[in-house]
Amino acid sequence: MKEDTPSERFEEQLAKLESIVARLEDDSVGLEEALDLFEEGMKLARACRARLESVEKRIEKLLEEAGQDEPVTEPLDTGPDVAP
């Protein structure tokens, strides 16, 4: 089955985001570097969220095509540290 090939795979983007968070939690990062990391992290977070939303819509469509009129969806538990 052909997988969509965005510039980077979701898993790679998520790993980069996790790495950025770890660096931001390090007290030795300077203000300018922290700002650059934060900006990059926000871009990655938006890209990951968009990809997840796209996958969710695709799953809903597949469920509808399979005869389930009303797909059952629940919000993703993003944990206490992540805003919706």
* pLDDT tens digits, 51-60: 999 999 998 8
Query: Which residues in the chain show pLDDT less than 50?
Result: 1-2, 4, 84
Domain residue limits at 19:
10-65
Is 1 part of any domain? no
* Domains of the chain: total: 1
- Element of type H or E holding 12: helix 10-25
**C-alpha–C-alpha distance, residues 28 and 69, integer Å:** 53
Is 83 part of any domain? no
pTM, to two decimals: 0.67
What is the structure's pLDDT at 11? 94
Spatial contact of 17 and 45, defined as CB atoms under 8 Å apart = yes
**C-alpha–C-alpha distance, residues 32 and 29, integer Å:** 8
Is 79 part of any domain? no
Is 2 part of any domain? no
Tell me which long-range contacts 36-40 makes (C-beta under 8 A, separation of at least 24). Answer: 40/16
